[in-house]
Structure 1
Amino acid sequence: MGFRLPAPELLKELKNAYNGRGNARLAGDTNDTLVHIEKLPARPATFGELSSPLPPSLSAALERRGIRQLYTHQVESIEALRQGHNIALVTATASGKTLSFNLPVLETILKEPDATALYIFPTNALMNDQLATLNGWLDELEEAGKNIRAFKYNGGLGDDEKKAVRRARPNILLTNPELVHLSLTAWHKAWPEFLKNLRYIVVDEVHTYRGVFGSHIAHLLRRLRRVCALYGAKPQFVCCSATIGNPAELVEKLTGLEDFKIISNDGAGKNERYFVIWQPPTFVGETANATAEPVTRSYLEETVDLFKMLNGYKYSTLCFSRLRRYAETMYRMCQEQSSTRQMQGVTVYRAGLRNEERVAIETGLKKGEVGGVFSTNALELGVDIGGLDAVIIAGYPGSQMAVWQQAGRAGRGDKDAAVFLVASQNPIDQYFLANPTALFNRQPESALLNVENENIARQHLLCMAKELPFNRADLQKYYPESVIKLAEKLLAEKELVNRRGYCLYPGEDNPHARLSLRTSTTRKFGIVNTSSGREIGLIEPPNLYTETHPGAIYTHAGETFRVERLDERANKVYVRPEVTTHSTSSVARTTIKMEPNPEERTVTLRPGLSLKVGRGRGEVVEQVYGYREEPLFRRNSRRADVVNLDYPLTIQSHHELLRLVLPPREKFGMIAAFDSGLHGLEHLLLGLLPLEVMCDPTDIGSTSDGADILHNAQPVIYLFDSCEGGAGFVHGCYERVEDLLQLAYSTVKSCRCAAGCPACVQSARCREANDKVSKQGARQILQFLLTA
């Protein structure tokens, strides 16, 4: 990239170019774009020494790579594994976690040539990258490495290629959860020698295994342990994670084991970095209308401008966005606004790239030949791309873990680096604009899952019975009592059969083929184009009624279709092609009935004032009764009228619930817009909950009632996991309600809007299209609850 300015001088240039652009601000507010700059000081590396040396061939390989010392966390990992511990390694991006498990695995195989290890990665891209790294080490081992066999095993291989891998008797098998599910457990008889000699199971990027996906993986790893036990193996687990709030709890729930050693003392050095919180400017129009709502510039446009500026200053830059379409959009915007010369070395990285395209980008980044990349979070995981001069995070990525994973990509050689968080209009982004130091001082969120989710557990128990019959004593080694009772229920329902005290799967079919590790349901609806008769896609409950109700506009691969009808008996949605620039959004009512005797606690908010918080399970009934059809780009705030369906579509399901029962309504005094204020408070809590637990906004649902008849007509807010059966998210907030309310109050106070906007009390997920939502009412309710 050539000479570049040091980061402090770059930031001075950016301040001069960008600060002071907006003309809308609140009393005491500034219109600075660079809202906060945090200097993250350089940190020297700390090294350790092994109690006994590595095998000579491995030591020589390290010498050839120029590695003469190991970081303290690498030494601690190797020593713990030598002593027989399971470990959870929790250190930053690019801290050398891979070497922490490759060295002890290779040490074991060099001493015991029949020993095997299983590496599980959440993505194929990461698997491919790690295989290249591992093969590099085998080459460095020279003669000693020629007899160590490492292979990948994923869905991209043909049947003959998979057979060839099995026949090759790999020492190290790199795979993904789907192939563990569909091959190593389902067809364990094809892997007898590998399983018999299995010494290590490496589960990389365990922080990604949360919610529904994590709940599935928790069952899968128990099934894998059970199959290993059949062949006499008791492998050690190596779990690698980014920094999260509950590493011990997560790995214990994932594996069902309790003897993990947590290694979190990161010995890797860090460059000096500057972290900037960046606020797009807000403007009020040139008219004399003093009540005009301020308009904030799109954070995507702002990000593209910043990206081009950094590129002009010779900063190699990686720009992260949450969605593929945002990465593509920003790349196109940059392309349209730049010359061919300026776009040289600038590209986009996302899922769906051909392998050679992906490898070319990763290699170019590593070598410094690619100057700028717009990426999804695909590059957040541990793919080796070296370090860059700058990272832009376009919108808060959903968790502090993700912020620091992405920020960890900044830093090349001994140069300083810059990280920019460009704030979107979401409530969490706005909270950090108003409280910038909180981003650096808050404890990381917890990653949660729920092994007791009945929908998920049911599917895995069927697979487990197909793999190997089980009895109650067998299940007690792996599961809590609730899952054991579910197995008894499956016996009563004839989904399992009892043979001499053991549960067996009775069918000739394969339950594994029906189970998707990424969802909680097995039911799928085909979307059929009536003009061609071709099935163009699939949709699952609960999105079925909300996205493909009769009259809905459905988009597939850039084409638009109108939904004609649902056929629930045939599991089909019938659509016809229709060219339109409109979109539809469903309108629904939600009611909740919590099961009796939930766990409850009283939260004292201030002297003489408290509310009750309950967590339990209950029934969520969502009734989709209509929809709105509107242009994709509305030119005014007037909403279209609701088009009523011929009959309402009712979704009834059981979920984990969190209930907030507020003080009696009369205590709040004369709040004119109480019900709409409560609705706004509900949206604030919904939008900010991901700050407390690691989840996406779509993982949570909510509703509120200003006078709940089940609670003496007191105001009530319910939060619930969107996944039927629950994934542990809202229950994880049971002890954090006080913090959540304070976050809500801080956010609504600092928001620049007059009457409510997506940055505070409006929610894109509101089934009532944000009708009857009051910012003032929400602020008054919170002010009463939290201030004397």
Structure 2
Amino acid sequence: MVPTDLLDVLLAGGRRADRATHVEHVPARAGTHADWPEWADRDLVSGYRALGVERPWRHQVEAADAAWAGHHTVIGTSTGSGKSLAFWLPALTSVRVDHARGTFDPGRIESVRSRGSVLYLCPTKALAADQLVGLEQLLAAAGTPDVKVATCDGDTPYEERRWVRDHADVVLTNPDFLHFALLPQHARWARLLRSLRYVVVDEGHAFRGVLGAHVALVLRRLRRLCAHYSGRPEGPTFVVASATSAEPARTTARLVGVDAGEVVAVTADTAPTGRRTFVLWEPAELPGTDAGVDDGFVTFTPGTTPEEWWVDAPEETEPRPRRSATAEAADLLADLTSAGARTLAFCRSRRGAESVALSAQRALAAVSPRLRDAVAAYRGGYLPEERRELEDAIRSGRLRALATTNALELGVDISGLDAVLVVGWPGTRMSIWQQAGRAGRAGADGLVAFVAREDPLDTYLVHHPEAIFDAPLEATVFDPGNPHVLAPHLCAAAAELPLREDDLDAFGPHAREVLVVLERRGALRRRPSGWFWTHPTSAAGLTDLRGSGGEPVRVVEDGTGRMLGTVDAAGADGSVHTGAVYVHQGTSYVVRELDLEDKVALVGRKDVDYGTWSHDITTIAVHDGARERTWTAGGRSVRWGLGDVDVTTQVVSYTKRRLPGLEIVSNHDLNLPPRTLPTTAVWWTAPADVLEAAGVTAELAPGALHAAEHASIGLLPLLATCDRWDLGGVSTAMHVDTGEATVFVYDAYPGGAGFAERGFELGATWLRATRESIADCPCQAGCPACVQSPKCGSQNNPLEKEAAVRLLDAVLACAPGGHVMR
């Protein structure tokens, strides 16, 4: 189908035309070929040709040439542009060349030792498995059984790991396995580390924030061990494949630990693309509701099902003027599937993916029972065999559509799709273009629709298309010098090999001062020859690369012992507490017990007519040594701060709400332990004279500050490389550490991720955008499009929209350059 036909399906012949706020036509682009490089292995070239690649694209050859010449290389081109060929051609050619040298005199032991190897790293096991399939196809087509390829991760049995260590030329894994297994046991992997020619880092843009900082330090540890075993200080050549982003060479240099001048960036995409029709979509207003009228109920569109609405709470615990994005996306997905389109619907949460899939299935069942089975959900937390089966089904056409989390954003090769629905802003322009790139791959035309949630940022974007289509892409933000991240990696490095003075430059300018602290606390012991780890426990266990708070919680069916999936440790208290409803592929379960010690949630199968939403309380304490600045104008002052804080959160209760009306059925207390997060926060204060100037009384202050906090969290992702789920916030009419009314926004990762610092740097710009998003919203008393938050632990209460606008006007009046109040 062509995009114009699919657009007509979305618009329902004009009946839904008012929901499309903007239609952008991205023109097709012709491809530019280049000749195969002279150095490329002839058998590999024959293999690619047998698979249909008669000639490579020019950007593939440019990147491959740079890598073959020994330059660290980043290839930052769009989804489906063939980045894999650009790194596999030089990497596999190097292995083949070394094999040829080895077979010249196969009886000599030094020939065996000269065999080169390749390490491939990616964010997910699914992507490594997908690359393995592609590599095996290529090597079979090339007739090169001498190249041995294998995946190796936490699921790999011991005997298979031993074979990989002893024989594999190409090892596909992830940074977690590198951190927890390969580097701590480096002596066992000496053959690989000694012979490593290339390290491929796929989907490099995914390594941002705290995860990016961790991975950057893991790669520094890897380079150090490679130099130790090979005797070559320069180590292997790194090739990073990334989505298009700002400053790719600088980002890659920071990730790998080299100077930016040592990195070649290839960003001119020469692969062909079909025409894409990109629609910005705002769900319909609900009949019979007025924004801001607190009647305690939600009016639902006739014919909708409970599952369509279940996911979006707690943002739906207050009256909503518009239909939920999940309900809207389910309708669109059903219509596209019925029309014959192959579609992915990217959802913002696991529960959202389940909800969209189930609602679409119900709608399709009314059309044809056969169509009901053409749609399924796909998300993290599924067992590996379930994910592989779903991936195979969408590739083969047995499934026409998947409602998925961003688990399918990263590289898994699913081609031939007609349409993509992006349900809620994915956090960055990089991500939305990465997801959009799934539509119309391999030069075919495609349709993309961004379906806005009722969220300040989503609402802003569907009415300001220039913020998507004309604004530059973000740079990937991470800080390897973050002491909370750096300290455990210095311990891990010292456990691998004693840290010497010469090693410190690789770990950045803060390494020495962090080592002093670690030595003082007894974590490391200083000797004339360096710093040593002297504890019997593994130093790698000190840190969790994903910032998930530890080992995931297994969800197990009580009675059968069947494992349904997993939940991140950090989210377990709020999602699989005792009494919580858990949904898996459309089937509902109720949690009977959450065992935090054994990391198990026991669930029982049960059909229910209600959903559950947890509530938490959060407090924040500021450490000494914060950076501060002051805005002063008209005799009034506002203080800004940036520094280390401790955020303590405790899930204290949950509410059962009947579906679909969300009427409260019952409230239940929970007895779960508090959890403390050491992180970085930005904050601003509103002294009494500023509150008075804004006309914000003591009664209104908590609601005004709370509303400003929610809206500012929603707008910071427009300025920083994050989404609102990377952030948290606290507001109070009197904070003990600042002595004044204060709004805090913090990074939701241990040690911070650089997002709060970005807010501190762009404070005036950030607050002006926040003020405008609230003031421009047509609701009367506040709604999810402006000041309500989908993750508020206090059920979005209290909130004072008009008082928040006046407060922000008064704060911005103190800003440099002033502020014109409207």
TM-score greater than 0.5 by the shorter chain: yes
- Rounded to whole Å, the distance in 2 between the matches of 1:727 and 1:199 is 32
Q: Which moved more, 1:299-308 or 1:627-636?
A: 627-636
1:94 aligns with 2:69: no
Query: Map of 1:241-260 to 2, 5 A cutoff?
Result: 241-258=242-259, 259-260=262-263
Q: Select the residue among 321, 328, 339 that pairs with 2:354.
A: 328
Check if 1:8 corresponds to 2:4.
yes
1:456-471 correspondence to structure 2 within 5 Å = 456-471=485-500
What is the rounded CA distance, in whole Å, between the counterparts of 1:354 and 1:619 in structure 2? 37
CA distance in 2, matches of 1:705, 1:385: 48
Match of 2:520 among 492, 503, 520: 492
Letter in 1 for 2:322: T
Q: Is the 8 A contact 2:548 2:568 kept in 1?
A: no
Q: Secondary structure at the residue paired with 2:507?
A: coil
Q: 1:592 to 1:279 in 2, by over 3 A?
A: same
Aligned 8 A contact 1:456 1:521 in 2: no
Relative to structure 1, the CA distance from residue 602 to residue 202 in structure 2 (aligned partners, 3 Å threshold; closer, same or farther) is farther
In 2: Cα distance, 1:517 partner to 1:546 partner: 22
User: Residue 427 of structure 1: CA displacement?
Assistant: 2.2
Cα distance between partner residues in 1 of 2:494 and 2:350: 39
Q: Report which stretch shifted further, 253-262 or 495-504.
A: 495-504
Secondary structure of the residue that 1:189 maps to in structure 2? coil
Distance 1:333 1:75, change over 3 A: same
User: What is the SS of the residue equivalent to 1:392?
Assistant: strand
Counterpart of 2:471 in structure 1 is 442
Tell me the residue number matched to 1:275.
278
Retained in 2: the 8 A contact 1:625–1:644? Answer: yes
Matches within 5 A, 1:342-741: 342-343=371-372, 345-351=374-380, 358-359=387-388, 361-366=390-395, 368=397, 370-411=399-440, 415-474=444-503, 476-513=504-541, 515-519=543-547, 553=579, 558-561=589-592, 583=612, 585-588=614-617, 590-593=619-622, 595-596=624-625, 598=627, 600=629, 613-615=640-642, 617-620=643-646, 622=648, 627=653, 629-631=655-657, 654-661=678-685, 664-665=689-690, 668-671=693-696, 673-706=700-733, 713=740, 715-741=741-767
The equivalent residue for 1:787 is 820
* Alignment deviations for residues 77-108 of structure 1 (CA, whole Å, 9 cap, x no partner): 12212332111211111011000001111222
Distance 1:300 1:545, change over 3 A: closer
Question: 1:529 Cα shift?
Answer: 13
Moved more, 676-685 or 586-595: 586-595
Partners of 2:382 and 2:573 lie apart in 1 by: 32
Q: Deviations over 1:177-201 (max 9, x none)?
A: 2221233211111122221111111
Rounded to whole Å, the distance in 1 between the matches of 2:632 and 2:508 is: 30
Q: Deviations over 1:362-420 (max 9, x none)?
A: 45544555422222222211111113111111222222222111110111565422111
Aligned residues: 757
Contact 1:449 1:729 in 2 (8 A): no
Distance 1:574 1:136 in 2: 40
Deviation at 1:472? 3.3
Amino acid at match of 1:275: F
- Tell me: CA distance 1:610–1:383, structure 2 relative to 1, closer, same or farther (3 Å): farther
Per-residue deviation, residues 499-521 of structure 1 (Å, max 9, x unmatched):
44322222333333564322275
Hey, what does 1:311 align to over in structure 2?
337
SS in 2 for 1:670: coil
| Counterpart position of 2:315 | none
Structure 2: segments with no counterpart, 5+ residues: 100-114, 296-318, 584-588, 813-818
Shift of 1:536: 12
Deviations 1:116-169 (A, max 9, x none): 111012111111111121122222322xx232222221223211111122222x
- Show the counterpart of 1:103: 89
Residue 220 of structure 2: aligned partner: 222
In the alignment, the residues of structure 2 paired with residue 182 and residue 96 of structure 1 have an alpha-carbon distance, to the nearest angstrom, of: 31
Provide the secondary structure at the position in 1 that maps to 2:369: coil
Distance 1:161 1:51, change over 3 A: closer
**Alpha-carbon spacing, 1:106–1:14, altered in 2? closer, same or farther (3 Å):** closer
Q: 1:133 to 1:701 in 2, by over 3 A?
A: same
Aligned pairs for 1:181-260 within 5 A: 181-231=179-229, 232-233=231-232, 234-258=235-259, 259-260=262-263
Residues 17, 295 of structure 1: CA spacing in aligned structure 2 closer, same or farther, 3 A cutoff? farther
Question: TM-score of the superposition, structure 2-length normalised?
Answer: 0.82
Question: Equivalent residue of 1:484, what SS?
Answer: helix
Post-superposition CA distance 1:263-290 (Å, at most 9, x none): 2111111100101111211124289x99
Shift of 1:652: 5.6
Contact conserved, 1:78 with 1:103, CA < 8 A, in 2?
yes
Secondary structure of residue in 1 paired with 2:791: coil
**Aligned-pair CA distance for 1:33:** 1.2
Is the CA contact (8 Å cut-off) linking 1:630 and 1:640 kept in structure 2? yes
Query: Is contact 1:218–1:255 with CA below 8 Å preserved after alignment?
Result: yes
Residues in 1 aligned to 2:49 and 2:592: alpha-carbon distance in whole angstroms: 62
**Partner SS, residue 171 of structure 2:** strand
Which one-letter code corresponds to 1:596 in the other structure?
G
- Residue 386 to residue 522, structure 1, CA distance change in 2 (3 Å): closer
Instruction: Report the counterpart of residue 154 of structure 1 in structure 2.
Output: 153
Pairwise CA distance, 1:710: 6.7
Tell me, what secondary structure is at the counterpart of 1:32?
helix
SS at match of 1:478: helix
Q: Which secondary structure does the structure 1 equivalent of 2:755 belong to?
A: coil
Shift of 1:238: 0.7
Q: Name the SS for the 2:761 alignment partner.
A: helix
5+ unaligned residues in a row in structure 1: which ranges? 21-30
Q: 1:640 to 1:682 in 2, by over 3 A?
A: farther
Partner of 1:27: none
Q: TM-score, normalised on structure 1?
A: 0.85
Structure 2 CA distance for aligned equivalents of residues 200 and 34 of structure 1: 47
What is the RMSD of the two structures over their aligned residues, measured on CA atoms? 4.0
Q: Give the conservation status (yes or no) of the 8 Å contact 1:319–1:391.
A: yes
The letter of the residue matching 1:183 is A
Pair 1:313–1:526, CA change in 2 (3 A): closer
Deviations 1:13-52 (A, max 9, x none): 54354546xxxxxxxxxx8111211111111113345674
Structure 1's 599 and 198: CA in aligned 2 closer, same or farther, altered over 3 A? farther
Q: Measured at CA, do residues 8 and 651 of structure 1 come closer, stay the same or move farther in structure 2, by a change above 3 Å?
A: closer
Matched, 1:71 2:38: no
Q: In structure 2, which of residues 14, 22, 27 is the aligned counterpart of residue 36 of structure 1?
A: 22
CA 448–640 in structure 1, closer or farther in 2 if over 3 Å, else same: farther
Q: Which moved more, 1:355-364 or 1:741-750?
A: 355-364
